[in-house]
Amino acid sequence: MLTELPYFADSARLFESVADEPWAVLLDSGRRPLSPSRYDIITAQPHTTLVTRGTLTEIRSRNGVELSRDDPLQLLGRHLQPATPNEPELPFCGGALGYFGYDLARHWHALPVVAQDAEHLPEMAVGIYDWAVVVDHLERRSWLASAGRDAETERLWPALIGCFSRPAVERARLPFRLTAPLASNFTPSGYAAAFARIHDYIRAGDCYQVNLAQRFAAPAQGDPWLLYQALRVVNPAPFSAYLHTPDAHILSASPESFLRVRAGQAETRPIKGTRARNGHPRLDAEIIETLRQSEKDRAENLMIVDLLRNDFAKNCDEVRVSKLFEVESYATVHHLVSTVTGRLKPGHSALDLLRGCFPGGSITGAPKLRAMQIIEELEPHRRGIYCGAIGYLGYNGDMDLNIAIRTLVYSHQIARFWAGGGIVADSDPAGEYQETFDKAAALVNLLQRNTASNLG
């Protein structure tokens, strides 16, 4: 089922129609027509949801509720069968959308239990959707598309066309604001001690690189959809997303693609290496060149490229590094980005690739398992959704997931977000600590600007 809709340059105006529905999703390309992520995808009203907490996954559908201890990705795969093709022009016509939290990795990796779980959110929250609005900002066209797997979709089709053929009337919303100042779970001295411990592990030969993150949190109130609309203006990013789940609102302005599969061709684009933007064209050009030539950042990036090549080799042939050490610029930072590609082996699926690569090496370190064990030891709180992945897996076997960085999670009237960086043998503690603030700058500035008058 496929109907062309009027095109609107701002997909937020269309998403307004469903923003308040539980399980509403906006995958947002940041309105960058020449970026790798040119499509926006809007959907809601999944006919089935899969929510994993610990060893149990709750599968809820119109037929009732089922609990399972099976592998969450195996369960998800069953709900994506049988495979059906997409309309060739569109990236998504139905399937699974949602998030895979960092701690979902505990299903496949032996990790200690040390860090505090302050959020108590599901490790996986995914809906199975039969329809989606797909907006192509390059072609300036929009479609309502469906795989036709749910009998309800045909009945709803005329109403969906009417709903998304015109922008929704904006609703009165309570401005989002913090009700106390942001607080980090690391003091400067606490961060320095964790940094020193990582260096001890590196010198002992335990690891080569560990990603260390600090968590910012504050009580808050108001409408997170209103906050996300402001965030996408001040910090547009090509792998952004807004998810309204029953347990949390997730606001992601991620610049990083984790895994993409198209017709069996797989790609990952790890980020390693960051510099703050200056704002002056000549000075920014100098900063970009310094980043591009930095031996430390290139070595850090290459470590993760090698890790991902190995992860890809579990499920892919023809594994190649197609781009190495390219610089991409965003609202507040410049990043060093590489690209690894491969082709799925016969009998291997996008879900197999996800399991083999999860979580992304760029946000763990190398070797991955040891780095994750050290992260659990040194970071005071579990990461939850941060450093997991957000995106879709289609009925046609394709997949597109981001790395959930630059991501704010709002639940139980607490706003939380994280920022981290990879630590290697020649890292400088002051520089690494400052890098976390550079990465958090867009969210920090937005929240403080919206809240300054209320906190005095």
Active site residues: 256, 272
DSSP reduced 3-state for 79: helix
Distance CA 451, CA 456 (A): 9
Rg (the chain; Cα; Å): 21
The burial of 253, by beta-carbon neighbours within 10 Å (0-12 exposed, 13-18 middle, 19 or more buried), is given as buried
Q: How far, in whole angstroms, is CA 325 from its chain's centroid?
A: 22
Distance CA 239, CA 253 (A): 7
Contact yes or no for 372/337 (Cβ under 8 A): no
Contact yes or no for 314/218 (Cβ under 8 A): no
DSSP reduced 3-state for 407: strand
| CB neighbour burial string for 139-177, b if at least 16 within 10 angstroms, e if fewer | eeebbbbbbbbbeebeeeeeebeebbeebeeeeebeebb
CB-based contacts of 420: which residues, under 8 Å, 6+ apart?
211, 212, 213, 214, 363, 387, 436, 439
